[in-house]
């Protein structure tokens, strides 16, 4: 298992093509550094006596101790540990540590390739297990790559004006396949070692070339990443103004463009088996939605703590309405956590032997995140005050001319240094605004994607029957 520093070193051996603001940058760039630090925490946690139990697991393939972010869940306890692990690391980073996307892709592909082989007599699962062994042994970070650009949302992949708006196979060769297209919103992609390409939706027969899954190094020929902007990202170069200088805000997303990328057969896990693309997407989505009551509750713990600290610095720490708002934030946070634990505890075994969270409850978790985080953050703004939106820059704060005057007028309760109030305001501003908030809405799929799943799994006819039975309505008799 790598340490955080070994992970950082291993990234320097790769040569991914990354653009930002019209220039080529490397993974050491200050724009990417906080996200590397957050991901490094997933490596360091495995070596820390306090967190080792959650952050490591025993491989069901090799029997060796591995980093849990590469593990295939073998029990409900594994699923619950996943949620606890995410909350713990989110409490330490206050950010997104990105590695869960690839972890979920590994789990989704493990069970789906097994089902494919059972039905079709293919050998994808065997291939995939070999790849998994390599991932577990080398402890690499794998980016999960599902979301396509999708173009006109009313049209299927093969009906698009531009065929590349969904990733597809352009050539099948004796030694492998060639793919083209792009993947959007790629969390942690630029600081991963490899990516796992998956289809973005259920496919029909005419879209069979779009039903493709494979593993590619992030620096493979033909791969270009364009790193995304975030709210206030110029501040990543600042000492205090970034708010969370060490770990940044959410995941550091990129658009990844794939221009005729060759993939050898041993790294191909789906190539045209369109009837399995839907279940691969559903499994990945459920596994990633399961997470959100883990990592977002950890992040919300930090937001709640920062709000309480701000109230105290402002001299309002003992006000009853502040206490009430903090209680509400805790209630909303724990509600998210409850649901993640519940979908894990209610999880079950798939034919491959891997464990999988309850999909209905997993979708409920994510739907609640799209609401509760906005309310938690709204309460934090209410408590902290307008200062978090109007604070002058750290350059002014530290300026020999004006800094003293700012410190005089930015002082709160005399027991606390004015810099503490400044730093806490910045942390809250960045954790609760712009990019961070939108990520809660759309990360792991938009709210509508969850509602479609809920309706499908909600078993409405059974519920209607329950009501009819109690109301004394006999449908069979009515029909006669
Ligand atoms: Fe992991 Fe949460 Fe980030 Fe998704 S949003 S990668 S679950 S930390
Ligand atoms: Fe995410």
Q: Please check whether residue 447 lies inside any domain of the structure.
A: yes
Q: Among 241, 276, 311, which residue terminates a domain?
A: 276
Task: Give the span between the Cα atoms of 391 and 399, in whole angstroms.
Answer: 15
The minimum-distance atom of ligand 1 relative to the CA of 95 is 8
**292 included as an active-site residue:** yes
CA of 94 to the centre of ligand 1 (A): 11
Question: Do 54 and 120 lie in a common domain?
Answer: yes
The answer to whether residue 89 is domain-embedded is yes
**Does 360 reside within a domain?**
yes
Cα(449) to ligand 2 centroid in Å equals 15
Catalytic residue chosen out of the listed positions 125, 256, 274, 295: 295
Q: Is residue 183 part of a domain?
A: yes
C-alpha–C-alpha distance, residues 323 and 309, integer Å: 12
Nearest ligand atom owner, CA of 247: 1
Shared domain check, 129 and 61: yes
Q: What is the CATH number of the domain that holds 145?
A: 2.40.110.10
Which CATH number goes with the domain that contains 348?
A: 1.20.140.10
Does the annotation count 100 as an active-site position?
A: yes
Q: Are strands 223-227 and 17-20 parallel, antiparallel or unpaired?
A: parallel
Q: Is 247 a catalytic residue?
A: no
Q: What is the mean pLDDT of residues 258-283?
A: 98
Both tokens assigned to 236:
């990543």
Question: How far apart are alpha carbons 258 and 183 in whole angstroms?
Answer: 8
Closest ligand 1 atom to 89 CA: 8
* Structural domain boundaries enclosing 345: 280-465
Q: Spot the catalytic one: 56, 73, 93, 96.
A: 96
Q: Which of 223, 243, 276 is the last residue of a domain?
A: 276
pTM, full prediction: 0.96
Q: How far is the CA of 431 from the centre of ligand 2 (A)?
A: 15
Is the pLDDT score of 2 beyond 90? yes
Residue 476 lies in a domain: no
Query: Which ligand 1 atom is nearest residue 444's CA?
Result: 4
pLDDT at 360 over 90: yes
- Verify that 295 and 194 share a domain, yes or no: no
What pLDDT digit, counting tens, does each position of 280-311 carry? 999 999 999 999 999 999 999 999 999 999 99
| Residue pLDDT, tens place only, 237-260 | 888 999 999 999 888 999 999 999
**Ligand 1, atom 5: closest residue by C-alpha:** 96
The residue from 246, 276, 306 where one domain ends is: 276
Domain check: are 157 and 221 in the same one?
yes
| 351 in any annotated domain | yes
Phi, psi (degrees; rounded to nearest 5) at 155: -120, 150
Which of 125-129, 205-209, 247-251, 396-400 is the least confident region? 247-251
Nearest ligand to the C-alpha atom of residue 87:
1
- Assess whether 341 and 318 both reside in one domain: yes
Which residues, other chains included, contact 387 with Cβ-Cβ below 8 Å and sequence gap of 6+? 410, 421, 425
Let me know if 238 is a catalytic residue. Answer: no
Catalytic annotation present for 245: no
Confidence (pLDDT) at 476: 74
Tokens of residue 127, six digits: 């291939």
Sorting pLDDT into bands at 50, 70 and 90, what band is 475?
confident
For residues 410 and 67, the answer to whether their CB atoms sit within 8 Å is: no
Identify the band that residue 404 occupies on the pLDDT scale cut at 50, 70 and 90.
Answer: very high
| Ligand 2 center to 439 CA (angstroms) | 7
**Lining residues, ligand 1, CB within 6 Å:** 86, 96-98, 100-101, 187, 251, 291, 295, 443
263 and 333 assigned to the same domain? no
In a domain, 392, yes or no: yes
Same domain, yes or no: 266 and 338:
no
Same domain flag for 301 and 240: no
Into how many domains does the chain fold?
A: 2
């Amino acid at each position: 298992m790598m340490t955080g520093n070994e992970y950082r070193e291993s990234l320097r051996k790769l040569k991914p093509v990354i653009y930002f603001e019209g220039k080529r940058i490397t993974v050491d760039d200050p724009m990417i550094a906080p996200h590397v630090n957050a991901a490094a925490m997933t490596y360091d946690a495995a070596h820390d006596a306090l967190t080792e139990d959650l952050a490591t697991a025993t491989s069901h393939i090799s029997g060796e101790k591995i980093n849990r972010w590469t593990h295939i869940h073998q029990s409900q306890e594994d699923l619950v540990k996943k949620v606890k692990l995410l909350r713990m690391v989110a409490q330490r980073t206050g950010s997104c540590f990105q590695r869960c996307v690839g972890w979920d892709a590994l789990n989704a592909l493990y069970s789906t390739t097994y089902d494919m082989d059972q039905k079709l007599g293919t050998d994808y699962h065997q291939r995939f297990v070999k790849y998994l062994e390599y991932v577990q042994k080398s402890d690499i970070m794998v980016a999960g790559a599902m979301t396509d650009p999708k173009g006109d949302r009313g049209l299927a992949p093969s009906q698009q004006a531009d065929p590349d708006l969904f990733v597809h196979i352009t050539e099948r060769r004796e030694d492998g396949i060639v793919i083209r297209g792009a993947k959007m919103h790629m969390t942690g992609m630029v600081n991963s070692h490899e990516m796992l390409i998956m289809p973005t939706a259920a496919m029909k027969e005419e879209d069979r070339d779009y039903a493709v899954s494979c593993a590619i190094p992030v620096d493979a020929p033909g791969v270009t990443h364009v790193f995304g902007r975030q709210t206030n990202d110029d501040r990543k170069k600042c000492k205090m103004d970034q708010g969370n200088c060490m770990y940044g805000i959410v995941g550091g997303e990129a658009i990844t463009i794939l221009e005729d990328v060759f993939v050898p057969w041993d790294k191909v896990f789906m190539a045209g088996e369109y009837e399995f693309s839907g279940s691969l997407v559903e499994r990945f989505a459920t596994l990633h939605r399961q997470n959100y009551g883990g990592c977002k509750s950890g992040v919300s713990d930090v937001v709640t703590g920062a709000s309480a600290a701000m109230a105290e610095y402002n001299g309002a720490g003992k006000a009853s309405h502040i206490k009430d708002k903090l209680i509400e934030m805790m209630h909303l946070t724990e509600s998210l956590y409850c649901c993640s634990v519940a979908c894990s505890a209610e999880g079950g075994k798939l034919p491959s032997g891997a464990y999988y969270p309850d999909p209905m409850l997993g979708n409920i978790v994510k739907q609640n995140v799209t609401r509760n985080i906005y309310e938690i953050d709204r309460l934090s703004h209410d408590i902290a005050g307008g200062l978090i939106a109007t604070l002058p820059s750290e350059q002014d704060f530290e300026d020999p001319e004006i800094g003293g005057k700012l410190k005089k007028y930015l002082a709160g309760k005399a027991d606390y240094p004015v810099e503490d109030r400044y730093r806490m305001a910045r942390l809250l501003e960045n954790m609760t605004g712009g990019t961070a908030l939108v990520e809660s809405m759309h990360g792991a799929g938009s709210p509508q994607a969850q509602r479609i799943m809920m309706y499908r799994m909600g078993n409405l006819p059974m519920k209607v029957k329950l009501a009819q039975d109690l109301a004394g309505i006999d449908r069979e008799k009515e029909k006669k």
